[in-house]
Amino acid sequence: MGHREAYQLFKIAQAENLRVDLVGDSAQHGSVTRGSLMSLLEKHACIEPFQLTKIKRQLDPRYREAVECFARGQTLQGFDRLDQLGWIKEVEGVERYEMLARDYADTLQGSGRWRDLLVVSPTHSEIETITESIRSELKERGNLAKEGIVFNRLVPANLTEAERGDARNYETDKVDMIQFHKPAKGFPAGTRVATRNLDQPLPTDQAGKYQAYRIQPIRLAKGDLVRFTLGGKTLDGDHQIRNGSTYKIAGFTDQGDFEMENGWIVSKDYGHFRHGYVETSFGSQGKTVKHVLIGQSSESFAASNSEQIYVSTSRGRNSVTIYTDDKTALRQMIARSPERLNASDLLRRSASDQKRQERERKAQVFRSLLRTRKAWQTDAQNSQKQERSYGR
């Protein structure tokens, strides 16, 4: 939760005389939006939090000890403990993804439940590579239909509100469609507007009420996992689809819509979905599964840090396995801290810097006075020696 959303929530709670209970871990990922709420409340709001001092998710005590190291900020010690267990695999090239895919299929065959498994990777680029490897392995084993249907999916263009309000950004291939998430003048919530060959200008003055997307093809087959990237409703309108939820495809209707294993039917034009085999570290936060597989090669090192590795490795109850092409370099990258600074942190740091600078200034003046005094004493001693010499 970002600061703006938290402020709105607290205003509602105050007006309705409600208590707000917040649960979180400031050592894990903060909100995607601006701010670091848990850190702000702990450091500056004079709130004494209740703390859980014992980790219970991990069943294997050796695994639990490694996660405890990550939780305490002892990132390298936690990494080394996992390495001692033999849970960090260093493999070059495509063989690494093939190994991960085989381990995924073997574990799936052993447990029989895809919800017992979680694959994590820090970047979408590596996620796509891992996804293709897993789907290829499942097809070879007959767990996934070899043929499928191509759908159009809506991928966020990741434009800021200011960028969405600039008409020039719609003259390129950055954006194919906008969708209103809030009611706007002439556009009910949920309305989609294609950005090509328009009869009238786009409502860029209402950029805060819509998001911009690119259209990409995606092939789905019977047996695929699909993850929804925006909330909505099923085709009949009877069921709510939560953002971030994952389901298994049981088949397709004659109209091309897809049916989930729970019987829900989702429109082929829903758009907001992707393959659901691999999560980002952010997407995995809050999940609990039996086994975790982490694909983290040098391709994703730029997104590797202490928060990311803590969240990724701590999702499992029974085991976690990391697949990388450079164990030494990965160990160095996860030692980095992605600390977010709040405005209060900056003010406190500024005050601390001012005090430090004042101490340094006083010390410099004191040293200057000492040098002056020493020089005066030296001159005085030389003068005395000269006077005695003249006296002789």
Average pLDDT, stretch 72-82? 94
Rounded to an integer, what distance in angstroms lies between the CA atom of residue 142 and that of residue 215? 30
Q: Which domains does the chain have, with CATH numbers?
A: 3-44 (no CATH), 61-149+221-333 (3.40.50.300), 150-220 (no CATH)
Contact by Cβ (8 Å): 197, 191: no
Rounded to an integer, what distance in angstroms lies between the CA atom of residue 273 and that of residue 322? 26
Q: What is the pLDDT of residues 199-256, one digit of tens each?
A: 778 888 999 999 999 999 999 999 999 999 999 999 999 999 999 999 999 999 999 9
Which residue from 173, 179, 211, 172 is spatially nearest to 194, judged by alpha carbons?
Answer: 179
| Sheet hosting strand 88-90, strand order edge to edge | 88-90, 316-324, 289-295, 117-120, 278-279
Global pTM? 0.76
Average pLDDT, stretch 136-151? 93
Q: Which two tokens stand for residue 126?
A: 């590596």
Rounded to an integer, what distance in angstroms lies between the CA atom of residue 227 and that of residue 247? 7
DSSP string covering 274-296: EE-SEE-HHHHTT--EEEEEEE-
Q: What is the pLDDT of residues 12-35, one digit of tens each?
A: 988 888 888 877 665 566 555 566
Compute CA distances 174 → 164, 188, 207, 379, whole Å.
Answer: 11, 24, 15, 76
pLDDT at 370: 77
pLDDT at 322: 97
As to burial, measured by CB atoms within 10 angstroms (0-12 exposed, 13-18 middle, 19+ buried), residue 77 is: middle
